[in-house]
Structures are given as structure tokens and as C-alpha cells.
Structure 1
Amino acid sequence: MKAPLSRRLVVVAAITVALLLPVAGALLSAAFRQSVETGFDQRLEALLTTLAGLIENGPTDDTTLTLSRPLADPRFERLHSGWYWQIARADQVLATSRSLWDDRIAATAMPLLGPRGEPLRAKQLDLLLPTGGSPVHLLIVGPQREIEIEVAAFNRLLVIALGSLGLLLIAAFAVQIRWGLAPLRRLGDQLKRVRSGDQPTLATSLPRELPGDLAEVATAINEVLAHQQALIERARSATGNLAHALKQPLAALHLQLDGEKLDRSAVRESLARIGETVDHHLSRAAAAGRVSGLYGRASLRDSLLPIVEAVRSIHVARGLTIVAELPAGRSVRIDVQDLQELAGNLLDNAALAARSEVRLSVIDEADGLLMLIDDDGPGIPDAAHALVIERGVRLDEQRPGSGLGLSIVRDLAELHGLALSLSASPLGGLRVGLRFSAGARATQG
């Protein structure tokens, strides 16, 4: 089982802190060591300058040197304190601090070691005395351990401070992550309730409680759930309608089969009604089954030009003119197959009714796009506009067809939230309009 997201984030935060704080600690420790060593060297430089100012020649010759007064630091008087000074000319030691006693420091050895083998830190100076002669070599040293002790104390404090800071940061990250993921937990709880059937969609108050990005996700999930619920309701309704529609012709068939004499024309009529009913409901099921239409996009020009050419080829023998005014760069939020089925049904109906011309056009409106199909046929009375989109209704029984075309268009339009309208055409026949909302429109690059 994979670890929860919050735990993963806390682990990542802990690893980040565990990696960065030691690096920061090492840099701080190095900076502190450099500062301590610089300060130590500056003290040695100051003591060396003072020592040079206190040198005096001995009373008899220049083989002995004395200080006019002792250095004002008691550590040079304490035996083997680690703080020493030494004055030499060539290889001859002329004077030393009391702390050295009878010992000497090899100034040329590296690293410098004290009488007890302890490492030393030194400053040296070659000085030419006013009395002349060869220059004297001044050496002043201090114990390296004082630097190490000071750095070690700082490092201990640094470890405690950075360790405490690391724990506080991890705790703060954990609280922040838990607080930041709280909206996701609420969203997950709501989805579990939807899955268990306790509620059909996410609570309407949830999007207002979530931050901007998650609010959009919750709204989109609700739209998907509502669409799925609509499809389920359509499927249930279609099943019930199909069962109800088949009862009468099936009952008529039973009567014919149970009767003494079989009326073949009545049987054929019942079978035709059954076939039309099945075709209609299969078409509606196909329309309702394509759920991708709400989330895909179709280019009007690329999708409709093949349909226009197909309708032209079907009616080429009649010399029918089919004009398509489709601007480039327009797309709508609908499945390509659904758009083609909508246009195909409307164009075919218009071509069957037209005398000489059918026109397909697209108009930009403030609130979306309007697709219009006009023909110059006899048209349909205003009172019959609502009637012709019903299943199986044909005003002209002399024409071939099942009367399902506009019914399928109506179902697809309802599925995709399109406004279907019928009116008189400027060409003299019928105008069918399909309005795509502004949210469904886009301009392609």
C-alpha cells in the first residue's frame, strides 16, 4: 500500500532539512573557525610587535638580548603554558620566555611543536637592531588547542541549535502540509459519499470552501457527475419508452398470430413500427452514449466540409446548389461525430425539401456561435415547428424517410446544451438554427 500524500510530503521535507542543515552547519563552522584563527593571528601579531619594541642589547656584547620589561601577559611566565617567545640570531638562541624554561623551538620545523609535542600557531619576524650586526629572528607562538577548544564549543552549540531548528522546521512543515491538504481531504470525503450513494454530487457549498484551483476542480467534478447522472436518467427513460412503444405492435402481432386468418399487411405494418421504434431508440442511445462531446473540441470547417461534400454527391443528380460559408479558425466544444451527425441530418433534410439551393452558414454572436441551415423549399408552418421534431413525424408522407432526423438532432442538441430553433428562411423555405454558447466557442491559432 502506498504511503499517503501528506506522509510523502513530510518525508521529503524531513530529507530536505536533513540534507541542507548539515551543509549550512559545515559552512557556519568553517566561517567561525576562520574568524577565530584570524583573531588568534591578530593577537600574535600584536604581541610580536610589542616584543620587538622591548628588545635591548646586553650590557657587554650583542650575543645576549634582554627585554626592557616583561610582556604584559602572565601566560609567557607560566611553565609550558603553550605561549612562548624566542629570539635568535642565525642558529643561536639569544633569549626565550620563562614559559619555555630550558627548551627551544625549532622555528624551521613544520608543523611547529611545543616542548610537550603540542601543535603551535606562530608569527615570525626578522628584525635589524639599531646597534647593527646581523638581523635577529623573533618567534612568538600560541597553542593551537585554544582554537580547537573554541571551535568545538561553537560546534556543540551549533549542533544543538541546528538540530532544534530542524525539528521545528519538520514540525512546521507537517502542520503546514496537513493544513494545506485539508481541502483535498474534504474533497475526498465528498467523493467517497458520492461513491457510496449517500449523495449524487459534491455538496454545493464545497466549491466556496475550497481555494481557487480546487474550487475549479470541484466544479468540474460536479459537471461530470451531473452529466453522468443525466446520461443514466436518459438510459432509464429510453428503456422505459422502448418497452412502452413495443407493447402495442407486439400485441398486434400476437393477435394476428393467434387469429384464424393472418393479415400480412397488418403484420408488415406492425413490424415496420417495431423497426422504426428500434431505430429511433438506437439512435438516441448512440447520441446519449457519447460523453466525450462535452470535453472535446471540433473545428467547424474541418468537421463540416466533408459532410457538405457528401450531401452534394447524394443530390448531385438534382442539380442542387449547396453553399457552405464556414469561417476558418472556429471550433466548438462538442464531439466531432456528434457535430457531423447534427449537420448531416439537417443538411439532408434541407436538401430533400429544397427546390434548388441549401445554405450552411456560421454567425459570430456576443454570446456564442450560431449555425444556420437554410433551404428554398416549401417551408413549414409556424404552428408545426414543435411537431416536426417529434419522433416519427413527417408532414409530407410522399417523401421517403422515417421522420427520425430532426428527433435525433433534438436529442443531440439537448445532450450538448445547444439551442435548436426553427423559423422561416430568407430563401423561402425553412431555417434551422443551432446556437453554441460562448463557453463552447474558441478561436484556433
Structure 2
Amino acid sequence: MNSLRARLLAATAVLLLAFIVLTGVALETAVSERADQAEHDRLQGLSYALLGSAEITDDGGFKLAPRVLPESDLTRPDSGLYALVLNEDGETVWRSPSLLDPVDMPSLPAVGEWQFMRIYPEKGTLITLSFGFRWVTDGGEDFRYTLVVAEDASTFIKQMQRFRGVLWALLSASALVLLIVELLILRWGLAPLRRLARNLSTLQAHEKRRIEGRYPDEIQPLVSNLNTMLSNDQARLTRYRNALGDLAHSLKTPMAVLRGLAEDQRLEESQRKPLRNQLARMNDILDYQLQKAAAAGKRSLTASISIAPIAEKLARALTKVYAEDGTRFRVHIDTGVKAPIDEGDLTELLGTLMDNAAKYGNGQVDVRAETRDGDLHMQIDDNGQGFGDGSTERLLERGVRADTNREGQGLGLAVAAEIVRSYTGEITLTNCENGGARVAIVLPAG
């Protein structure tokens, strides 16, 4: 999950779900307890009314006339409201006309205590309130009784189920609305980051030189630092190129004077030859450094460019250069292969290696490139004599040449290696299966 919005939305959804569940459980528990308390109070009031109208005979008989019952539902058979009195042995000594079937109580309260509970007879569920009491007759005898008042719980259960349905429906709708609002808030809050990403994409396409616009206080320092880095990057590259250009220009006149002295016939050959050699070395150094200056190197926010068009353009140009030799250039690169490299650097890199392959090959140069795991893999093959059996590492050094019979300064591979290393890439020199030379390059994606 790489999206900040997805992460924040997921975290908010989890917290909101936990809050909704806890709130629902708390409300349901509170309402259920309040309903139980209201039922308890109602049955307790009915119990007091029944006890106030009761009579006990001298032999312990419990009498309660139907006409004095406080609730009319107690007189209607199977009305849902019931009352009964049990003796100390748990036997029924009186029951209301509404109670048709006996009720078995799992336990009886002590004298003076109330017991609120649910029981589950064969027909549904009953809410019961029991009260244990003693009755002392005028003759001094006391009798132990338990008054049980019960009510059918079906109505109560339906009301609670309806309440739960409404409660969870409202909470679910509230959660959905809050999630939508949270999504809109996240979209609004992360809008500056999306704008920054668009500006960075514009920078990668080289349409702008800096990130424009004002950003929130949390992001503005990052934007300012990026702009500073981009400015310093461009200024450093410009100073580097200008300094080398100025140096080359400044040395032109002194080198011309020295070259004139090296050709002066008045000097002995033994004096002119060392002078020519040193001038050649100086010229090689200047060429090498100027080629390095032409390479931009890895820059911040470099755009990815297609490899195939540049390779094909170079192949057409070099085909004309080596037309007399009949050299063929074959490019095996899909149009979708891209890499984050400066176009000038890629042109310099491929141009140098393809020119070397044509110069030291035997009429055929193959250029391949593909993307594997995000990295660019390129190889330039020729069908020449190859690099031989010795170490090829020294060939990447300035001035070292594999074939001294051909003209050249030994700078091409060194410049190519400089460009590849500036992009933290790798360059290796090997031989092909057919014996020719192969230059393999890997440029990392990041």
C-alpha cells in the first residue's frame, strides 16, 4: 500500500469501524439495561400492589380475590402477565387466573430479597421478578412464601430487536457518510502533494527549471530545498563546462606557439621530437577533459528517454561514415525501452561505442538494449578480433588502446566509462560468442 491517501483512509476506516462498534455496543447495552430496569420497576410495583391486597389464613393459606387484582391482564387467561405464590417447599399455593400452565422456578430468593431473571419454559421466554417474604398470623405462626410476577418477553424482545436494527442501520449510514467526508478531506488535504508531483513531472520533462507556486508550511521547506538543489545542480554543471572551455581557449595560443617551435627547422630533431610528444599529450588531455565536460552526468529529476530512436539515428549516420568499409549497423531495441539519462550523454555514449565497434570490427555492429527489473541493459557487439585474453580493465583507462595499429587516442572507452559511472552504472568488456568484442552496460533505474 504505497498511496498515502489509501493508508490514511484505511487507518481512518479501522478507527471509525472500532468507534462505531464500541458506540453501538455501549448504546445497546445501556438501552437494554434501562429497559430491564424499567421492567423491574414495573413488576416490583405490581408485586407491592399484590402484597397489599393479599390475605393469609390461620392455617397458612394465601388468598387473593380476582376482583382485587391490580391489573386486569392478571384475570384474562394467557394474557402474558402472570402472578403466583410458592410456599417454602416451592409448591404453588396461589396463581392468577391468567396463568394456565405451572411455572418452574430454577431458584428462589431469600426472605426480603428480590430476584430478577429470565426463564425459558416451553412457550417462549418469561421475565420474572421474585420476592421472598414471611407472614406472621395473629396466632403467632409465621409462614415462608415467594411471590413471583412474570410477563411474556416476546413484546420486549421484539422492541429490542427493532431498536437494534434501527441503531445499527443509523450507525452504518453514519459511518458511510463519515468515510465519504473523510475521503473528501483527504483529497483536499493531499492536493498540495499532488500539485507538487505534477510540477516534478514537468521538471522531468524539462519544461521548467524550478518548482513554481506556494505550498503549505509543512511542504514549503521541501520545495525550497528542491529548488535550491536544482539551481546548484545546473550552476555547477555550467561552471564546470565553462571552466574547461575557458581553459582550452586559453591554451590555444601557447600551444600554437609551441607547435610552431616543434616544427622549426632550426632546432635539432632530438629537441623537436620530445616537444612534439609533450604537445600530443597535452592535446589528448584537453580532448579528454572537453569530452567529459560535454557529458551532463546524472542530474536531479532526469526524464526517461527512448533508446531506439537515438541508436537508429547514430546507426544511419555511421553507416555513411563507414560506407567504403561496407559496415552494417543492426539495432535490436524495442520502442518501449527507456532510461533516465540525459539525451546528450546517451548520444555521446552510444556514438563512441558504436564508432569504436565499427572501427575495430569486421563490417558488422549489433546494438541491443532491454529493460530488466527497471534497469537498462545495453550491449554493443562487433565481429572483429575482440579484446584478447588479457585483462580488459585497463582499456577503460584514458590513453590505453587495445589495437595500436589503428589511429586513435585511446579516449573513447574512457569517456564512455566516465559517463556510465556518472550514472552509478557498470560497464564491462568481454568477447562475443563469435569472438568479437562486446561492451555491456547496466544503468540502474534509480
| TMscore range, shorter length | 0.5 to 0.7
Q: What are the within-5 Å matches in structure 2 for residues 250-399 of structure 1?
A: 250-262=255-267, 264=271, 267=275
Relative distance call for 1:32 and 1:198 in structure 2 (3 A) is: same
> What SS class does the counterpart of residue 200 from structure 1 fall into?
coil
- Structure 1 unaligned regions, length at least 5: 292-445
- Residue pair 2:133, 2:144 contacting (<8 A) in 1 also: yes
Relative distance call for 1:83 and 1:114 in structure 2 (3 A) is: farther
Q: What are the within-5 Å matches in structure 2 for residues 26-425 of structure 1?
A: 26-57=25-56, 62-67=60-65, 69-91=67-89, 92-101=91-100, 103-108=101-106, 113=119, 116-129=122-135, 131=137, 132-203=141-212, 206=213, 209-262=214-267, 264=271, 267=275
- In structure 2, C-alpha distance between the alignment counterparts of 1:261 and 1:81, rounded to whole Å: 141
- In structure 2, C-alpha distance between the alignment counterparts of 1:165 and 1:135, rounded to whole Å: 55
- Aligned-pair CA distance for 1:122: 1.6
- In structure 1, C-alpha distance between the alignment counterparts of 2:210 and 2:121, rounded to whole Å: 87
The one-letter amino acid of 1:119's match is T
> What SS class does the counterpart of residue 31 from structure 1 fall into?
helix
- Residue pair 2:202, 2:208 contacting (<8 A) in 1 also: yes
The Cα offsets for residues 297-339 of structure 1, whole Å up to 9 and x where unpaired, read as xxxxxxxxxxxxxxxxxxxxxxxxxxxxxxxxxxxxxxxxxxx
Counterpart position of 1:8:
7
The one-letter amino acid of 1:77's match is T
- Residue pair 1:128, 1:135 contacting (<8 A) in 2 also: yes
Counterpart position of 1:308:
none
- Aligned-pair CA distance for 1:62: 4.2
- In structure 2, C-alpha distance between the alignment counterparts of 1:261 and 1:75, rounded to whole Å: 144
Relative distance call for 1:114 and 1:27 in structure 2 (3 A) is: closer
- In structure 1, C-alpha distance between the alignment counterparts of 2:120 and 2:97, rounded to whole Å: 14
- Residue pair 2:50, 2:70 contacting (<8 A) in 1 also: no
The Cα offsets for residues 144-203 of structure 1, whole Å up to 9 and x where unpaired, read as 334422221121111111101111111111111111111111111111111111111112
- Aligned-pair CA distance for 1:115: 6.1
- In structure 2, C-alpha distance between the alignment counterparts of 1:232 and 1:109, rounded to whole Å: 94
The percent identity for this pair of structures is 25
- In structure 2, C-alpha distance between the alignment counterparts of 1:118 and 1:109, rounded to whole Å: 19
- In structure 1, C-alpha distance between the alignment counterparts of 2:5 and 2:60, rounded to whole Å: 81
The Cα offsets for residues 343-375 of structure 1, whole Å up to 9 and x where unpaired, read as xxxxxxxxxxxxxxxxxxxxxxxxxxxxxxxxx
The one-letter amino acid of 1:122's match is T
- Aligned-pair CA distance for 1:61: 5.7
> What SS class does the counterpart of residue 33 from structure 2 fall into?
helix
- In structure 2, C-alpha distance between the alignment counterparts of 1:219 and 1:70, rounded to whole Å: 91
Relative distance call for 1:107 and 1:5 in structure 2 (3 A) is: closer
> What SS class does the counterpart of residue 44 from structure 1 fall into?
helix
> What SS class does the counterpart of residue 218 from structure 2 fall into?
helix
The one-letter amino acid of 1:84's match is Y
- Residue pair 1:37, 1:147 contacting (<8 A) in 2 also: no
Relative distance call for 1:54 and 1:240 in structure 2 (3 A) is: same
Relative distance call for 1:79 and 1:256 in structure 2 (3 A) is: farther
Counting helix residues as a fraction of each chain, which structure ranks higher?
1
The Cα offsets for residues 190-219 of structure 1, whole Å up to 9 and x where unpaired, read as 11111111111112xx2xx31112111111
- In structure 2, C-alpha distance between the alignment counterparts of 1:151 and 1:261, rounded to whole Å: 121
Counterpart position of 2:377:
none
> What SS class does the counterpart of residue 213 from structure 1 fall into?
coil
The one-letter amino acid of 1:217's match is L
User: Over the residues paired in the alignment, what is the CA RMSD in angstroms?
Assistant: 3.5
> What SS class does the counterpart of residue 27 from structure 1 fall into?
helix
- Aligned-pair CA distance for 1:76: 2.2
- Residue pair 1:25, 1:159 contacting (<8 A) in 2 also: yes
- In structure 1, C-alpha distance between the alignment counterparts of 2:69 and 2:267, rounded to whole Å: 140
- In structure 1, C-alpha distance between the alignment counterparts of 2:211 and 2:7, rounded to whole Å: 27
- In structure 1, C-alpha distance between the alignment counterparts of 2:15 and 2:231, rounded to whole Å: 43
Relative distance call for 1:248 and 1:66 in structure 2 (3 A) is: same
Relative distance call for 1:20 and 1:193 in structure 2 (3 A) is: same
Relative distance call for 1:77 and 1:210 in structure 2 (3 A) is: farther
- Residue pair 1:106, 1:112 contacting (<8 A) in 2 also: no
- Residue pair 1:84, 1:140 contacting (<8 A) in 2 also: yes
Relative distance call for 1:149 and 1:185 in structure 2 (3 A) is: same
Q: TM-score, normalised by structure 2?
A: 0.54
- Structure 2 unaligned regions, length at least 5: 109-116, 300-446
- Aligned-pair CA distance for 1:239: 2.6
Counterpart position of 1:443:
none
Relative distance call for 1:114 and 1:231 in structure 2 (3 A) is: closer
- In structure 2, C-alpha distance between the alignment counterparts of 1:10 and 1:64, rounded to whole Å: 68
Matched residue pairs, number?
Answer: 275
Relative distance call for 1:187 and 1:106 in structure 2 (3 A) is: same
- In structure 2, C-alpha distance between the alignment counterparts of 1:64 and 1:16, rounded to whole Å: 60
